[in-house]
Structure 1
Amino acid sequence: MRKFLSVLLAMAMVLSLTVTGFAIEDTATTRAPEVMTEEATMAGKTVILHTNDVHGAIEGYAYITALKADYEAKGAEVILVDAGDYSQGEVYVSDTKGLDAVEMMNVTGYDVVTLGNHEFDYGYAQLKENMTKADFKILCANVYGEDGTPIFDANYTYTTKSGVKIGFFGMETPETQTKANPALIKGLTFATDDAFTKAAADQVKALKDDDIVICVSHLGVDAESKPYRSTDLYAAVKGIDFIIDAHSHTVMMKGENGEPIQSTGTKFANIGVIVIDDASKKIESNSLYEIKEDTAKDATVAAAAQKIIDRIDKEYGAVFAKSKVELNGAKAPNGNRDSETNNGDLITDAMLWKVMQNKEGLTVDADHVVAITNGGGIRDYIKVGDVTKKDIKTVLPFGNTVAVIYVTGAELLEALEASTYSLPVGGFPQVCGISYTISTAVAYDANAETYPSSTYYGPKTINRVSINSINGKEFKVDDTYAVVTNNFCAEGGDTYYAFAAATSKFDTGVTLDMAVMDYITKELKGVIGEQYAAPQGRILLNPFKDVKVSSWFGKYVIDLYNDGIINGTSATTYAPNDTLTWAAALKLLLVSNGDLKAADATGADWSKNAIAKAAELGLVAADLDGAKAISRLEFCQVAAKLNKLAESKTESKFTDCTDGYVMALVDAKVIDGMTATTFEPDASLTRAQIAKIIYQLNLIEK
């Protein structure tokens, strides 16, 4: 215990104001502690220990309790603060809709908390009921009830035993009005625009006689949260001495520009430490205390957490299925908030399957039924091996139900456009029955005003999203489609305001987690198999400014890019009219056919490797000059040979080319010609043309 205290004091006093730079997620590190003497004392100090975004990691409360006890043993007065999102996440708190989180915080001895957006996940009525059990102050200055007053106290002054007055006020992200189910928070108003800033400024004014003013904010620093980030608030409101922040799960001890803002990450990755000198009545230092496996725990609080864990594990721990593949639970990059995932495919497949068990209740044909769920609602991985009810509940913890809405094609397009306005985004549409493309290089054309009661801007025009097909058939903007979704999106949650306006809808009452478990058990026979090893190609990304989905070559370029066969000349350009060299054309052809490994197609020797492999296959001479331009005729000849197409005896339809390999590709429906009667065999092959030829070659049965 004494060694632990020495480390602890070093972290609090030596780290102090020398801090690491701004860092996102878990990339920040704390400095190694320096050993202090056993006589080190914290008498004359007040220490604030703070947490944020605990998300049901209830074992962590034993760490902060032990930390508090050690500071107190050295003479410090300790205040415990949390910045929100404690009610949702792990099934250990979501099972009781957040109540067990409140009970654990009571046992731990928290003094002051604010609300996170996830405190509203189970509805305002449930939140109020939970907070009647709280032994701590709940602060929230910018969320108002129907009477126009804050739903909880806006501010609170904590007076230490030495007489230091610390003023706290709470600020909730306005994003809550769309991140929580709108139907469950009706009657609440979330301050936005100038009212948001005024709410904070009013609290600073109310606390003007206090020695220190601390904002406990659930705002975060993500770009998508602008202009309601903690950094925005600090810039706009004078008189805030420190911000204890949350929401973006950031690990930081100061803001991007040195602002006095601290955040601990998530799930007790760290505990925030703020040291106040009682004599000067000023903040002396701030730091992060990293939690490790051997960090001391308080036995009483650990036992309280274990009691909950044992109860839930007993109820939810039974194995009901197996998974042969890992299902992606990441946010981004390459996660549920910026791309198609196998987890999203499984969940939307299950939603659609569940509704189609009673398809007689639908008013549209089966080919007009699709499923969409917001990627932000997918919260964890499913690992290879046994799958329990707890695993599914952790992935889908919100208790949302499967709902069906009827929208026009135009409304469906609006929802997809709004929900992909920027990547990553919580509303990102994971889908079943829809194939769509996002042109990420195209700027979102936002309306001047936000959607009603939202921080999101609807689209003025549809220019980023194109729906390629619905259940393999042509998409029509005037048709009516049944969209199977969750009740959160159906009520206009996240970016789905277009769904809130649906003329007809119904709720099945079946929770998402139950629908998924039912699908796995009955349809998949208890095994999540290789069909979910990878995303199934429902969502395509087009990063190129010079490639439009509607252009003749757009489909080919976009599909091959998403298959990892081709890249652009830069991150945002494809240069479709540029011509190709022999080496470049051979590389694309061989990679697409599986004859050239990706490792050999990159690096300094890629040209030599491509020519050597082509020569080995008998396509070209080993001494070929790879830098020469390749003609249309030359490429068609090697492409036909590689695909084992014999020279065709069919009479050529072209007046300028009678080559048998060219006609073999015509017969195989790989090429058409420049016109009905011309091929232009000597013209240089372009990047647009090779994309179509390679795409069509891949359709040939081999």
Structure 2
Amino acid sequence: MKLVKQFLVLISFSLLAFACSNDENTPIPIPQNETKELTIFHINDQHGRIDNFSKIKHIIDLEKETTNVIVVCGGDIFSGNPVVDNYEEKGFPMIDLMNKVGFDIATIGNHEFDYGELILKDRILQAKFDWVCANVDMNTTGIPEPYEYKSIIKNNVKVTFLGLVETNGKEDAIIPSTHPWRVQNLTFQKYTSVINNYSQIKQSEGSDLYIALTHLGVSTDRNIAENYPFFDLIIGGHSHSKINTVVNNIPIFQAGSNLENLGKIQLIIKNGEIENLTYNLINLSNYTDVDTGIKEIIDTYNEDANLDAIIGFSEAYHSNSQVGYFYTDALKNEMNVDLTLQNTGGIRASLNAGDILKREIYTIDPFNNGSVTYTMTVGEIKNFLKNSGAGFYYSGGSIEQNNNEIIIKNDNNNILSDNTSLTIGLNDYIPAVYDTYFTQTPTYKPYTTAEAIINYLENNSGSINYTNYNNYFKYN
């Protein structure tokens, strides 16, 4: 894991802190004893949503006319909008717009790894803002190492940010919640293993503020405030929460998700302490002004995506779970297997009644997961369902629990014996996470699961209605 710059940790500043100007050898004194004003704008978990950046740009530029401004992101920049996720250079529109809006810094979220190593490398190199994450090592992948912490200076204000990402992606490994096969060459540590290494950074940097910019979720941010109280603020992400609270005298903020809100933290600072803090969570649906230049760019990205082709018809509104029932049924037919399973977290959106657009399927399934099949016995499938602890949507017969026993029946309602072999189809994220139960080499299909659903809809003229289905199983 990365070594902390120990010589920085040991340096202490009393009255003055020094940073670097454009000439890195020229020290600039940062006075601590004057009253300073700063506004921090923050977003998190935008998941590819871009439409509100024109409003955000307008808000930020107005604020910059009157005070110092820093713009930050709490991670999960990608995965969720097909305009961004299926762009020729995956993720490019998001970074392009963040550059143009004027973001200063972002922490790495778990979904930054969804596109794989080469694309993450390109997106980090594309960014004109800094990246921070203290508990990842990119090793020899060629992905630029993010800063563990980074100080940003706006006129007379110096703010240092420490980045952290969650590592709860796999029970027997320390990785983020992303496809395990896409982070095989990276090394992660739990935040608890590294955070104390950075307890003196505010002093060594001579900063006015020290902020944890995290992608850990609100419960973990609360734990940091309780147990690692050397931060002035915590700005978070991952749990998609709207948070404005104080724990152990440390303010904690999070701005929801999907670029629906913009957090605004207004600060008055003196001698490295917050004298006054005002918070406003701006609901962007209620904000009408836009930056016309940014809006034109967004409109072009949306129009060029060609995602509005009608590929099917839904008789009714389908909730996420009802989409899961349809999803597995469509996969079963398209993959020609006996049983399909779909993890609940892989269904990311509901489905409206009426015409089904191609963009809706890519929004429901944004992860570009591959399609794989296995041949497994009923006994092996039961072992997986019983011991994985996870719940799944499914199609193919029925799966029930009777006391401690799992009963699997075929489409004719006949109970299947444990030694019966079935072909099972699923996205490749599931066997990657639960590799203890999927030990065979799978058969790879030449399409992603989203492409399978699109193909199914395009080749089946009937409408869909899964509102009365209940094909979900979780062992209790």
> TM-score, normalising length from structure 2?
0.83
Change (3 A) 1:520 1:152: same
CA contact (8 A) 2:44 2:257 kept: yes
2:70 to 70, 73, 79: 79
2:97 to 73, 81, 104: 104
* Aligned residue number for residue 115 of structure 1: 108
Could you tell me which amino acid in structure 2 is paired with residue 489 of structure 1?
Answer: I
Equivalent residues in 2 for 1:596-611, closer than 5 Å: none
Distance 1:150 1:230 in 2: 26
Structure 2 SS opposite 1:208: helix
Structure 2 SS opposite 1:170: strand
1:388 aligns with 2:328: no
CA contact (8 A) 2:378 2:408 kept: no
* Aligned residue number for residue 267 of structure 2: 276
* Aligned residue number for residue 497 of structure 1: 435
Q: Higher relative CO (CA 8 A, sep ≥ 6), structure 1 or 2?
A: 2
1:347 aligns with 2:327: yes
* Aligned residue number for residue 200 of structure 2: 205
* Aligned residue number for residue 183 of structure 1: 181
CA contact (8 A) 1:98 1:119 kept: no
1:155 to 115, 140, 149: 149
Structure 1 SS opposite 2:312: strand
Structure 1 residue 477: Cα displacement: 3.5
Equivalent residues in 2 for 1:266-305, closer than 5 Å: 266-283=257-274, 284-287=276-279, 288-305=281-298
CA contact (8 A) 1:250 1:263 kept: yes
1:488 to 425, 429, 433: 429
Structure 1 residue 175: Cα displacement: 2.4
Change (3 A) 1:246 1:304: same
1:539 aligns with 2:472: yes
* Aligned residue number for residue 409 of structure 2: 469
Change (3 A) 1:143 1:470: farther
CA contact (8 A) 1:221 1:248 kept: yes
Structure 1 residue 286: Cα displacement: 4.3
> TM-score, normalising length from structure 1?
0.57
* Aligned residue number for residue 375 of structure 1: 344
Could you tell me which amino acid in structure 2 is paired with residue 158 of structure 1?
Answer: I
Distance 2:382 2:200 in 1: 46
CA contact (8 A) 2:161 2:210 kept: yes
* Aligned residue number for residue 16 of structure 2: none
CA contact (8 A) 1:373 1:431 kept: yes
Mean CA deviation greater in 231-240 or 86-95: 231-240
CA contact (8 A) 2:50 2:259 kept: no
1:61 to 31, 41, 53: 53
* Aligned residue number for residue 43 of structure 2: 51
Structure 1 residue 66: Cα displacement: 1.6
Q: Deviations over 1:153-212 (max 9, x none)?
A: 1110112311x32110111110243631111111212213xxx21322223334433232
Structure 1 SS opposite 2:356: strand
Structure 1 residue 280: Cα displacement: 4.1
Equivalent residues in 2 for 1:134-533, closer than 5 Å: 134-146=127-139, 151-162=145-156, 164-176=157-169, 177=175, 179-192=177-190, 196-209=191-204, 210-221=207-218, 229-254=220-245, 259-283=250-274, 284-287=276-279, 288-312=281-305, 315-329=306-320, 341-356=321-336, 369-419=338-388, 421=389, 428-437=391-400, 463=404, 466-471=406-411, 472-492=413-433, 496-499=434-437, 501-522=438-459, 524-525=460-461, 527-530=462-465, 532-533=466-467
CA contact (8 A) 2:69 2:154 kept: no
Equivalent residues in 2 for 1:35-50, closer than 5 Å: 44-50=36-42
- Could you say which structure has the larger radius of gyration? 1
Distance 2:167 2:378 in 1: 30
Change (3 A) 1:541 1:184: closer
Distance 2:188 2:225 in 1: 19
Structure 2 SS opposite 1:272: strand
Change (3 A) 1:245 1:467: farther
Structure 1 residue 482: Cα displacement: 2.4
Structure 1 residue 398: Cα displacement: 1.2
Gaps of 5+ in 2: 1-34, 170-174
Could you tell me which amino acid in structure 2 is paired with residue 394 of structure 1?
Answer: T
Could you tell me which amino acid in structure 2 is paired with residue 60 of structure 1?
Answer: N
Could you tell me which amino acid in structure 2 is paired with residue 347 of structure 1?
Answer: Y
Distance 1:401 1:478 in 2: 28
* Bigger proportion of residues as strand: 2
Change (3 A) 1:118 1:259: same
Change (3 A) 1:407 1:262: same
Structure 1 residue 239: Cα displacement: 0.6
Q: Deviations over 1:353-389 (max 9, x none)?
A: 1221xxxxxxxxx6xx311111111111221111111
Q: Provide the identity percentage.
A: 24
Distance 1:135 1:147 in 2: 23
Structure 2 SS opposite 1:253: strand
Distance 1:219 1:478 in 2: 43
* Aligned residue number for residue 657 of structure 1: none
Distance 2:366 2:414 in 1: 34
Change (3 A) 1:375 1:438: farther
Structure 1 SS opposite 2:200: helix
Distance 2:452 2:442 in 1: 18
Distance 1:78 1:111 in 2: 9
Change (3 A) 1:108 1:318: same
CA contact (8 A) 2:376 2:423 kept: yes
CA contact (8 A) 1:87 1:93 kept: yes
Change (3 A) 1:470 1:307: same
Could you tell me which amino acid in structure 2 is paired with residue 346 of structure 1?
Answer: F
Distance 1:217 1:470 in 2: 46
Change (3 A) 1:234 1:473: farther
Q: Deviations over 1:545-567 (max 9, x none)?
A: xxxxxxxxxxxxxxxxxxxxxxx
CA contact (8 A) 2:226 2:248 kept: no
Distance 1:178 1:412 in 2: 26
Could you tell me which amino acid in structure 2 is paired with residue 433 of structure 1?
Answer: G
Distance 1:150 1:408 in 2: 44
Change (3 A) 1:61 1:108: same
Structure 1 residue 391: Cα displacement: 1.3
